């Protein structure tokens, strides 16, 4: 266990219930119960009190898995490559989990994509665990939810965790970039707009993979990418503040046939080795970025909860209303809300001392 | 002016300078100086103290423009449609601004897309203003930066503001959905993965436009979309909490030739009329969502600034480090950071009373 031992979720309305359920579920999930694991991930996705209680137990046991982000434009073949990687990883007996971050529906939750159906080939293999996640609630939730999900899977003993992001938006790229190793997938002959998105994606890549290697132009695309990568400045990503000391390798795969997939797995392992221990500045920063995204999302949730407290809700709603009607500017409103939060905190017995 | 009159940015290190510069720039921008406007938007994008000083002045003068979000998958022809809409709007003499939210580069800022070059046809027309914006910094910044940019353009007198989002990520969809009217663009015959993304996009649509209407399958795509929209539940978006009392209209355009563009502009105007005044619950909620995104981002920035204060920085960094190393769980860390923030606020003279 970690530095702290806080068995209950303080102040949570159903803290007691969550705690006993969390005890059972975390023990079961760490012991290999996949249903318990699935329930925990649902709690993480929905940010319930159970998620907090479970994370307080599981988080200190995590930190061993290799977390690999896989991103790229729609149509590059991410799901097919993920399926091929699963097959390759299973040949050597490693347990692998996939978190598919799916922005397809902000409302109804992630829909299963057609490609993902192929992964059901592994439905009977208990060392393969695949989960689609949709981030709900306010912006910033995506990084925090994904970080929590990987921590739960890590604690449950998965050695390799693939975080596949379907969207090409900023948040989705940040999620992938907060992995220990970030793979950016491309395909030959993509359109103009996709090319433009590519430039941004490349900045977060540790490895670049040209998929659909059997299509004409794959070699040429790989050469172009290598030229772009030499020309591009290797600065840290704004989202993750990672330095990129090395040019990323460019590999070619044909996920549909499996060509190049063993080489990709070997490259992932090399990157993992190169970034652990003393030389692991990049991976350390990625871990800090994941930690910060999670902690900050919780701070944010806590503050929002306080603004919805009976005593503050009316004043807070009035302030936001005034901004919506342009009677008050957002900076003055922010100062008002901060004042409300701090006054309210001062008026009640402190939770952290004692 | 608004309820408040706070001419200086309190506590800002360069508050005084920003204020005098902001005075000049906001006066110039409202008076029609486009260079001043561009400088203000750069300040908004970079979240400098000047942005705060300018927003405090300009925000109370905003609230009159029609803000239209335009989103859709890459390749649907968003930039071309935006260019066609500009042409149509200029025929009737209205001033139009475009904010192109461009996630193509999280690091170096938005790159100009090839299509956008076409818009330079309007470079000499001072009633057309086009601006690419990249969101920097932490997640959640996209909605807040875009909201602030539209407020500045609104105060500067633009009657119609188009917010074009290039990405298909969750944040980008939320940005588009926080407009008064949200247009989702589709094109005939898109691939499987794009189809899946489409379902999520449709949930935020006030108007659906099938572009590339001259391609085979456009009518069929429109019919399929109408069928999907009848079948889909009309619930509020998680990002914006908007109710959708009506099925969105499905229109067909060919942006490259201008076919259908006058009809689209008329539909936008109808939607604006239908949602202002008493019947404007949806638009009111969109305005509240925009206000909340902006206020919350500022609260978040203020708190982060405090954590980087000399007195707190070391303790905060230590806490995040402990989380990154899995010695501390993120919930305990969040409680620690909240405690630090509140204690620090209690120890210094209150800013809001007096």
Main-chain phi, psi angles of A100, to 5 degrees: -100, 110
CA–CA gap between residue B87 and residue B71 (Å, rounded): 19
CA–CA gap between residue A297 and residue B245 (Å, rounded): 32
Flag whether A178 is in a domain: yes
| Angle at CA of residue B272, ends B268 and B273, nearest 5° | 120
Instruction: Clarify whether residues A37 and A73 are in a common domain.
Output: no
Instruction: Clarify whether residues A157 and A48 are in a common domain.
Output: no
Which residue of A lies nearest to B341 if distances are taken between CA atoms? Answer: A342
| Angle at CA of residue B241, ends B239 and B243, nearest 5° | 130
Of the residues A2, A73, A106, the best mutation for testing chain B's interface (the one with the most B CB atoms within 10 Å of its CB) is A106
Asked if pLDDT for residue B23 goes beyond 80, the answer is yes
Q: Which of A238, A292, A352 lies at the smallest CB-CB distance from B335?
A: A352
CA–CA gap between residue B261 and residue B211 (Å, rounded): 10
Flag whether B353 is in a domain: no
Percent of chain B whose predicted confidence (pLDDT) is above 70: 74
pLDDT, position B199? 64
Give the closest-approach CA distance of A215 to chain B in angstroms.
17
pLDDT, position A142? 77
Pair type for strands A207-210 and A181-186: parallel
By three-state DSSP, how is residue A97 classified?
strand
Instruction: Clarify whether residues B314 and B228 are in a common domain.
Output: no
Give the closest-approach CA distance of B264 to chain A in angstroms.
24
The dihedral formed by the CA atoms of A142, A144, A146 and A147, expressed in degrees to the nearest 10: 160
User: Hey, what are B286's tokens?
Assistant: 């969109």
- Mean of pLDDT values over B150-173: 87
Domain that holds residue A271: 62-279
CA–CA gap between residue A184 and residue A202 (Å, rounded): 7
Which residue of A lies nearest to B236 if distances are taken between CA atoms? Answer: A107
End-to-end CA distance of chain A: 21
Q: Which of B199, B304, B330 lies at the smallest CB-CB distance from A294?
A: B330
The pLDDT tens digits along chain A (354 residues) read 344 444 444 444 444 566 778 999 999 999 999 999 999 999 998 888 999 999 999 999 999 999 999 988 777 888 889 999 999 999 999 999 999 886 554 433 333 444 455 566 777 888 999 888 765 555 567 778 888 999 999 999 999 999 998 766 777 777 887 899 999 998 886 654 455 556 667 778 899 999 999 998 899 889 888 888 877 655 444 444 444 546 889 999 999 999 999 999 999 999 988 877 655 666 777 888 888 888 988 888 888 888 888 888 899 999 999 999 999 999 999 999 998 888 777 665 444 443
Which residue of B lies nearest to A326 if distances are taken between CA atoms? Answer: B60
Q: How confident is the model at residue B4 (pLDDT cuts 50, 70, 90)?
A: very low
Instruction: Clarify whether residues A42 and A81 are in a common domain.
Output: no
Q: How far is CA A285 from CA A149, A181, A183, B300, in A?
A: 19, 11, 17, 21
Closest by CA to B162, choosing from B65, B47, B31, is: B65
- Mean of pLDDT values over B75-82: 86
- Angle subtended by helix axes B281-307 and B141-155, to nearest 10: 120
User: Hey, what are A327's tokens?
Assistant: 């009677």
Instruction: Clarify whether residues A53 and A144 are in a common domain.
Output: no
Instruction: Clarify whether residues B1 and B107 are in a common domain.
Output: no
User: What is the full DSSP assignment across A307-347?
Assistant: HTSHHHHHHHHHHHHHHHTTSS-HHHHHHHHHHHHHHHHHH
Flag whether B340 is in a domain: yes
Flag whether A48 is in a domain: yes
Of the residues A295, A300, A320, A353, the best mutation for testing chain B's interface (the one with the most B CB atoms within 10 Å of its CB) is A295
Residues of A in contact with B148 (CB under 8 A): 330
- What's the order of all strands across the beta sheet hosting A128-133? A128-133, A96-101, A160-165, A66-71, A181-186, A207-210, A249-252
Instruction: Clarify whether residues A131 and A223 are in a common domain.
Output: yes
Q: How confident is the model at residue B112 (pLDDT cuts 50, 70, 90)?
A: very low
Give the number of beta-carbon pairs within 8 Å between A and B. 343
Contacts of residue B100, defined as CB under 8 A and 6 or more positions apart, other chains included, come to B79, B82, B110, B113, B116, B130, B131, B132, B133, B164, B166
0.90 surpassed by pTM: no
Instruction: Clarify whether residues A4 and A69 are in a common domain.
Output: no
User: What is the full DSSP assignment across B181-228?
Assistant: EEEEEE-SS--HHHHHHHHHHHTT-SEEEE--TTSTTHHHHHHHHHHH
Cβ–Cβ below 8 Å for B111 and A142:
no
pLDDT, position A123? 73
Answer with the residue of higher pLDDT: A353 or B298: B298
Give the closest-approach CA distance of B223 to chain A in angstroms.
21
CA–CA gap between residue A240 and residue A229 (Å, rounded): 19
pLDDT, position A266? 96
Q: Which of A197, A291, A330 lies at the smallest CB-CB distance from B291?
A: A330
Q: What is the CATH number of the domain that holds B108?
A: 3.40.50.300
Q: How confident is the model at residue B258 (pLDDT cuts 50, 70, 90)?
A: very high
Flag whether A262 is in a domain: yes
Confirm if A323 and B323 have CB atoms less than 8 A apart. no
Q: How confident is the model at residue B10 (pLDDT cuts 50, 70, 90)?
A: very low
Flag whether A297 is in a domain: no
Which residue of B lies nearest to A298 if distances are taken between CA atoms? Answer: B334
pLDDT digits (tens, 9 = 90+) for B57-71: 999 999 999 999 998
Main-chain phi, psi angles of A188, to 5 degrees: -65, 150
Instruction: Clarify whether residues B18 and B158 are in a common domain.
Output: no
Asked if pLDDT for residue B128 goes beyond 80, the answer is yes
CA–CA gap between residue B235 and residue B282 (Å, rounded): 12
Of the residues A44, A334, A349, the best mutation for testing chain B's interface (the one with the most B CB atoms within 10 Å of its CB) is A334
Residues of A in contact with B75 (CB under 8 A): 191, 193-194
Instruction: Clarify whether residues B241 and B306 are in a common domain.
Output: no
Q: Which of B56, B192, B237 lies at the smallest CB-CB distance from A332?
A: B56
Closest by CA to A96, choosing from A146, A153, A152, is: A153
Answer with the residue of higher pLDDT: B173 or B9: B173
Q: A252, A279, A306: which is the final residue of a domain?
A: A279
Could you tell me where the DSSP H helices lie in B47-140?
49-58, 78-91
Of the residues A44, A46, A116, A170, the best mutation for testing chain B's interface (the one with the most B CB atoms within 10 Å of its CB) is A170
pLDDT, position B97? 95
| Angle at CA of residue B71, ends B173 and A133, nearest 5° | 30
What's the domain count of chain A? 2
Contacts of residue A104, defined as CB under 8 A and 6 or more positions apart, other chains included, come to A110, A111, A113, A134, A166, B196, B197, B199, B200
CA–CA gap between residue A179 and residue A286 (Å, rounded): 6
Instruction: Clarify whether residues B266 and B159 are in a common domain.
Output: yes
Cβ–Cβ below 8 Å for A63 and B325:
yes
Q: B258, B281, B304: which is the final residue of a domain?
A: B281
Instruction: Clarify whether residues A18 and A149 are in a common domain.
Output: no
Q: A12, A34, A61: which is the final residue of a domain?
A: A61
Cβ–Cβ below 8 Å for B196 and A104:
yes
- Mean of pLDDT values over B256-261: 95
Q: Which of B63, B105, B143 lies at the smallest CB-CB distance from A200?
A: B105
Flag whether B287 is in a domain: no
Asked if pLDDT for residue B354 goes beyond 80, the answer is no
pLDDT digits (tens, 9 = 90+) for B207-220: 999 999 999 889 98
Q: How confident is the model at residue B173 (pLDDT cuts 50, 70, 90)?
A: confident
Q: Which of B2, B143, B350 lies at the smallest CB-CB distance from A328?
A: B2
Flag whether A52 is in a domain: yes
Residues of B in contact with A235 (CB under 8 A): 107
Confirm if A183 and A195 have CB atoms less than 8 A apart. no
């Amino acid at each position: 266990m970690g530095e702290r031992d806080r068995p209950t979720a303080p102040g949570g309305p159903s803290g007691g219930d969550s705690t006993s359920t969390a005890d059972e579920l975390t023990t079961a999930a760490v012991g290999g119960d996949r249903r318990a694991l699935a329930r925990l991930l649902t709690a993480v996705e929905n940010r319930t009190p159970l998620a907090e209680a479970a994370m307080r137990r599981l988080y200190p046991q995590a930190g061993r898995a290799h977390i690999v982000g896989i991103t790229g434009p729609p149509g590059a073949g991410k799901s097919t490559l993920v399926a091929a990687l699963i097959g390759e990883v299973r040949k050597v007996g490693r347990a692998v989990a996939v978190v598919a971050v799916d922005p397809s529906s902000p409302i109804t939750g992630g829909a299963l994509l057609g490609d993902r159906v192929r992964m059901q080939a592994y439905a009977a293999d208990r060392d393969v665990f695949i989960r689609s996640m949709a981030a709900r609630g306010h912006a910033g939730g995506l990084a925090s939810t994904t970080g929590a999900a990987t921590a739960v899977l890590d604690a449950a003993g998965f050695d390799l965790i693939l975080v596949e992001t379907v969207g090409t938006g900023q948040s989705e790229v940040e999620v992938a970039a907060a992995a220990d190793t970030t793979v950016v997938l491309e395909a030959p002959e993509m359109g103009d707009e996709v090319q433009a998105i590519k430039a941004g994606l490349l900045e977060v890549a540790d490895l670049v993979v040209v998929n659909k290697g059997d299509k004409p132009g794959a070699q040429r695309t790989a050469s172009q990418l290598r030229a772009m990568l030499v020309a591009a400045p290797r600065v840290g990503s704004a989202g993750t503040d990672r330095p990129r000391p090395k040019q990323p390798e460019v590999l070619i795969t044909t996920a549909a046939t499996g060509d190049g997939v063993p080489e990709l797995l070997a490259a992932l392992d090399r990157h993992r080795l190169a970034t652990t221990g003393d030389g692991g500045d990049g991976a350390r920063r990625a871990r800090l970025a994941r930690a910060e995204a999670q902690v900050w999302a919780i701070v944010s949730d806590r503050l929002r909860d306080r603004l919805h407290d009976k005593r503050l809700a009316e004043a807070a709603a009035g302030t936001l209303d005034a901004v919506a009607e342009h009677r008050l500017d957002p900076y003055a409103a922010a100062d008002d809300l901060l004042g409300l939060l701090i006054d309210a905190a001062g008026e009640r017995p402190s939770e952290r001392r004692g």
